[in-house]
């Protein structure tokens, strides 16, 4: 299976901060990389698909970039509703895998 | 509107089996795969596998091969996941999820609609 490694595992930030989360694949996955946001007790929500495409209805402060093995999710100006856990997911191989998650907390 | 509604929480003993349902509405059930993802308490997301409700074709993560079975009842737009030989480390919330788009031949493997989750607790 392709291993997905996210960093950091957690971070503290303030409203208005620019936040960057990275995800690294154990082999090249082209641009088959998706990002989700999950809040406690809720199902994940798709933010970004194919590395950089913004899902309908997701605010433009979220953006994704990267290809091959290295990817980033950026929140340009953190809002109160953005405090959550974020997961990357590769959809390159027949067996899907997720990163371990990055928890974004209030500083 | 698209909805995936899952069955309620289950408590099972080690070695038992559990069957979780996922009822789809708001779209043509046979036009989109259903995937299953689980999440142990405080842990990350783990993909279990997928099913094509039209053909019944399935694919399972290697970790679950031989213990998990996906089925469906197209007459009631419902997908099922059955997990056997339950162990304590199978305790988790199990989600069904629908791909963002599907063509006549394949589906994307990012998921824009999710069920609310079903907590399966395995305890003696």
pLDDT at B21 over 90: yes
pLDDT tens for each residue of B57-99: 999 999 999 999 999 999 999 999 999 999 999 999 999 999 9
Peptide bond into B80 cis (omega under 30): no
Average pLDDT rounded to a whole number, residues B1-5? 97
pLDDT tens for each residue of A4-37: 999 999 999 999 999 999 999 999 999 999 999 9
CA atoms within 13 A on the CB side of A87: 25
pLDDT at B38 over 90: yes
Given an 8 Å threshold on Cβ–Cβ distance, is A46 in contact with B112?
yes
Give the separation between CA A91 and CA A46, rounded to whole angstroms: 13
Q: Which residue of B has its CA nearest to A93?
A: B109
The pLDDT value recorded for residue B104 is 86
Residue A57 contacts B, CB cutoff 8 Å: no
- What would the two tokens of residue A63 be? 């953006």
Residue with the bigger pLDDT between A103 and B104: it is A103
Q: Which residue of A has its CA nearest to B98?
A: A46
């Amino acid at each position: 299976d392709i291993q997905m490694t996210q960093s950091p595992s957690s971070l503290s930030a303030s409203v208005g901060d620019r936040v960057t989360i990275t995800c690294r694949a154990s082999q090249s996955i082209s641009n088959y990389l998706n990002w989700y946001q999950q809040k406690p007790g809720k199902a994940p929500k798709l933010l970004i698909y194919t590395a950089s495409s913004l899902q309908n209805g997701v605010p433009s402060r979220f953006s994704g970039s990267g290809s091959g093995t290295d990817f980033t999710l950026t929140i340009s100006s953190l809002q109160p509703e953005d405090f959550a856990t974020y997961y990357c997911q590769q959809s390159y191989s027949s067996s899907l895998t997720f990163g371990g998650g990055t928890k974004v907390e209030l500083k | 509107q698209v909805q995936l509604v899952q069955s309620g929480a289950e408590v099972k003993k080690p070695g038992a089996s559990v069957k979780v349902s996922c009822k789809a509405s708001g779209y043509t059930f046979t036009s989109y795969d259903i995937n299953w993802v689980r999440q142990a308490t405080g842990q990350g997301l783990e993909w279990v596998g997928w099913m094509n409700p039209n053909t019944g074709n399935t694919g399972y993560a290697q970790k679950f091969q031989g213990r998990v079975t996906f089925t469906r009842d197209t007459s009631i737009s419902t997908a099922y996941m059955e997990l056997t030989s339950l162990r304590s480390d199978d305790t988790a919330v199990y989600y069904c999820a629908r791909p963002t788009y599907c063509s006549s031949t394949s589906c994307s493997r990012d998921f824009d609609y999710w069920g609310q989750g079903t907590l399966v607790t395995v305890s003696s």
